[in-house]
């Protein structure tokens, strides 16, 4: 029965992977023709009204050079990816460095700050695009439609995200006035998130050392770009939801995904290969560009992730955004303090601030049956009969709430920032994965025994109440999350300080070439030593043939001697 279940799981995972490949292929075919922005080859995008900003930046940058500090260019990705990058940008500013953050005029979460300067550039979309993305996300998670309809919606959602990324990328790279301004500033390094590889392409063009901050790249591109071994025998692949302890059928599927990853990378990155080649005016691939990174700051920690090989220029900085909590606002604090049984923090991420009414009703019904106070990030239609223990907020101070002593449980979609905040503050989790890498994240936490997974589409009030009851009242969940939290905190240097140290390190030394593996200089034939094995095989064949000839000669001589004696 166990073998049958494993085969069944493997088959479903293979179907999932096949669907992903179909989506990627269709997305690649349509992303150029259907994106909101058609390119800048015939259109000049200027830097709007910011001459005074340029002058003030020049003055501050000049002082930083005299004071022995450096200049850092930050090219972030919008959304939750901005959280960690912002923390480093702010800390670099506090330490006296001149930090310039590039951001589009229309944005979701990117914002200005006191510790860094920001520079905006025009883009051909409006705030309505983010509203549409949010609606698409809600449509996907709330749908009870057929598989084909849900695949169609996923394709549409992926297409919208690609439109956004491609429009932003071309708006920046083909803004000749802005790029020329950046070239003249003599930055020491570029800090960027390579999931949106605009910053990586720009750093390559400006001949600046690049510092990548990320959780990971799809289709194993990060392992490929660092030329690091990534054996499928014990390193689980994306979308498989495997652990590092795989049975035979799981390893078969893992190897199949591993073999298909280069195809997925080709499909996913071909547009970026094209735009990079046009911008740099020579044929180049994103693999080649990404492989030039000085340091990879990986939001990764082995308290959650499964052990695997890492390149020498990879630094683990997971949890850098949860180390410090801020005091709660008075209104929120009063709601928290009046709870005798603790609080539950509930959010499904920035892309899903609301959900269909019938799904929201399940949560309201479940929350009415529990004694804890619930703080829920919710921007949907508010019903009239909200339970008295529920507080709805369009935005919640997630990290600060999880750091409060009364936090008893965390209902999350399984995003990387949220789960590391949960680990950091030792709060057991009820996890509702929706899309992307969230299913893999959730599986890791379930395998550690620190949370319960709930299927959003099959969820009921009873299921949700039972899950909350388990993580709150079963002491094993709290004990295990406290152990993970202790392991996570037991580090010689705070993750934020570590990220800043390596950023400054790259700026001081103009890169980190000595950490770059020589594997980058090898082709795949040499990397796997196939030429050596081939040579040794030829030598063995030659030696065997020579030995056989010698033996045959000896036998012939022996026969001749015997004949003479006779």
**499 in any annotated domain:** no
pLDDT band of 269, cuts 50, 70, 90: confident
What's the predicted TM-score (pTM) here? Answer: 0.84
| DSSP letter string, 48-83 | TT-HHHHHHHHHHHHHHHHTT--EEEEE--SGGGHH
Name the residue range of residue 367's domain.
330-489
Tell me how far apart the alpha carbons of residues 524 and 419 are, in angstroms, rounded to a whole number.
36
**228 in any annotated domain:** yes
Do 401 and 424 belong to one domain?
yes
108, pLDDT greater than 90: no
**518 in any annotated domain:** no
Do 295 and 240 belong to one domain?
yes
* Chain mean pLDDT for the chain: 84
- Confidence at residue 421, expressed as pLDDT on a 0 to 100 scale: 94
Q: Percentage of residues in the chain with pLDDT exceeding 70?
A: 83
Tell me how far apart the alpha carbons of residues 525 and 5 are, in angstroms, rounded to a whole number.
38
**495 in any annotated domain:** no
> Cβ distance 418 to 353 under 8 Å?
no
47, pLDDT greater than 70: no
> Cβ distance 352 to 374 under 8 Å?
no
Do 232 and 163 belong to one domain?
yes
- Confidence at residue 239, expressed as pLDDT on a 0 to 100 scale: 80
**542 in any annotated domain:** yes
**Domain termination site, one of 268, 290, 316:** 316
Do 124 and 258 belong to one domain?
yes
- Confidence at residue 126, expressed as pLDDT on a 0 to 100 scale: 80
- Residue 329: CB atoms within 10 A of its CB come to 11
Do 270 and 195 belong to one domain?
yes
Q: Percentage of residues in the chain with pLDDT exceeding 90?
A: 58
Calculate mean pLDDT across residues 242-254. Answer: 92
Of the listed ranges 161-170, 186-195, 203-212, 331-340, the one predicted with least confidence: 161-170
Number of structural domains (the chain) is: 3
Calculate mean pLDDT across residues 541-566. Answer: 86
Both tokens assigned to 5: 């279940």
519-544 residues labelled b (16+ CB within 10 A) or e (exposed)? eeeeeeeeeeeeeeeeeeeeeeeeee
Residues for the chain: how many in total?
A: 566
Do 301 and 408 belong to one domain?
no
Do 537 and 483 belong to one domain?
no
pLDDT band of 529, cuts 50, 70, 90: very high
- Confidence at residue 326, expressed as pLDDT on a 0 to 100 scale: 84
460, pLDDT greater than 70: yes
pLDDT band of 59, cuts 50, 70, 90: low
CATH of the domain at 381: 3.40.50.2000
pLDDT band of 60, cuts 50, 70, 90: low
Both tokens assigned to 278: 């046009």
pLDDT in tens, 482-521: 999 999 999 999 999 999 999 999 999 999 999 999 999 9
Higher pLDDT, 59 or 18: 59
Tell me how far apart the alpha carbons of residues 250 and 483 are, in angstroms, rounded to a whole number.
29
**Domain termination site, one of 489, 517, 546:** 489
41, pLDDT greater than 50: no
- Confidence at residue 25, expressed as pLDDT on a 0 to 100 scale: 41
CATH of the domain at 228: 3.40.50
pLDDT band of 457, cuts 50, 70, 90: confident
**342 in any annotated domain:** yes
- Confidence at residue 132, expressed as pLDDT on a 0 to 100 scale: 72
**Domain termination site, one of 285, 316, 347:** 316
Do 201 and 305 belong to one domain?
yes
Of the listed ranges 65-74, 131-140, 470-479, the one predicted with least confidence: 131-140
Three-class HEC string of 163-224: HHHHHHHHHHHCCHHHHHHHHHCCCCEEEECCCCCHHHHHHHHHCCCEEEEECCCHHHHHHH
Both tokens assigned to 234: 């014990």
Do 251 and 385 belong to one domain?
no
**45 in any annotated domain:** no
Do 374 and 284 belong to one domain?
no
Do 470 and 554 belong to one domain?
no
pLDDT in tens, 330-363: 999 999 999 899 999 999 877 666 777 888 889 9
Do 88 and 205 belong to one domain?
yes
**50 in any annotated domain:** no
Of the listed ranges 81-90, 109-118, 132-141, 404-413, the one predicted with least confidence: 132-141
């Amino acid at each position: 029965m166990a073998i049958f279940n494993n085969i069944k799981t493997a088959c479903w995972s293979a179907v999932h992977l096949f669907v992903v490949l179909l989506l990627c292929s269709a997305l690649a075919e349509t992303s150029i023709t259907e994106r909101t922005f058609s390119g800048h080859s015939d259109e000049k995008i200027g830097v709007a009204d910011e001459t005074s900003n340029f002058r003030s930046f020049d003055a501050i940058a000049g002082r930083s050079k005299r004071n022995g500090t450096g200049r850092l260019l930050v090219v972030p990705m919008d959304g939750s990816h901005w959280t960690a990058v912002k923390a480093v940008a702010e800390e670099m500013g506090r330490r006296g460095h001149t930090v310039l953050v590039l951001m589009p005029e229309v944005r979701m979460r990117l914002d200005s700050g006191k510790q860094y300067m920001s520079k905006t550039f025009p883009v051909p979309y409006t705030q309505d695009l983010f509203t549409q993305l949010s609606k698409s996300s809600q449509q996907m998670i709330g749908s009870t439609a057929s598989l084909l309809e849900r695949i169609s919606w996923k394709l549409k959602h992926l297409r919208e995200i690609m439109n956004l990324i491609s429009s932003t990328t071309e708006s920046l790279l083909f803004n000749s006035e802005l790029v020329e301004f950046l070239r003249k500033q003599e930055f020491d390094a570029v800090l960027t998130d390579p999931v949106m590889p605009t910053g990586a392409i720009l750093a390559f063009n400006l001949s600046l050392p690049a510092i990548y901050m990320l959780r990971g790249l799809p289709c194993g591109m990060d392992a490929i770009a660092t030329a690091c071994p990534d054996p499928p025998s014990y390193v689980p692949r994306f979308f498989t939801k495997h652990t590092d302890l795989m049975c035979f059928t799981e390893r078969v599927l893992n190897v199949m995904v591993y073999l298909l990853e280069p195809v997925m990378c080709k499909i996913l990155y071909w547009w970026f290969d094209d735009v990079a080649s046009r911008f740099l005016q020579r044929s180049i691939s994103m693999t080649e560009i990404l492989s030039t990174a000085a340091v990879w700051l990986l939001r990764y920690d082995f308290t959650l992730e499964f052990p695997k090989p890492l390149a020498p220029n990879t630094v683990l900085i997971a949890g850098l955004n949860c180390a410090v909590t801020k005091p709660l606002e008075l209104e929120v604090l009063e709601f928290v303090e009046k709870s005798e049984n603790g609080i539950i923090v509930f959010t499904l991420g920035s892309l899903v601030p609301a959900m269909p009414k019938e799904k929201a009703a399940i949560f309201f019904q479940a929350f009415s049956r529990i004694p804890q106070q619930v703080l829920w990030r919710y921007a949907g239609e508010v019903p009239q009969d909200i339970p008295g223990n529920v507080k709805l907020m369009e935005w919640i101070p997630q990290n600060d709430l999880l750091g409060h002593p009364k936090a008893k449980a965390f209902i999350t979609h399984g995003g990387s920032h949220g789960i590391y905040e949960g680990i950091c503050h030792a709060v057991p989790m009820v996890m509702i994965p929706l899309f992307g890498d969230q299913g893999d994240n959730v599986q890791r936490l379930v395998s550690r025994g620190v949370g319960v997974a709930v299927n959003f589409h099959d969820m009921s009030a009873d299921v949700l109440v039972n899950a909350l009851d388990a993580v709150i009242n079963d002491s094993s969940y709290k004990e295990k999350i406290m152990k993970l939290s202790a392991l996570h905190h037991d580090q010689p240097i705070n993750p934020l300080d570590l990220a800043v140290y390596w950023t400054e390190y790259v700026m001081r030394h103009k890169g980190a070439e000595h950490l770059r593996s020589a594997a980058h200089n090898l082709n795949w034939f040499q990397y796997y030593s196939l030429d050596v094995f081939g040579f040794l095989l030829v030598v063995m064949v030659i030696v065997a043939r020579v030995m056989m000839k010698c033996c045959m000669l000896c036998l012939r001589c022996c026969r001749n001697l015997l004949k003479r004696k006779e």
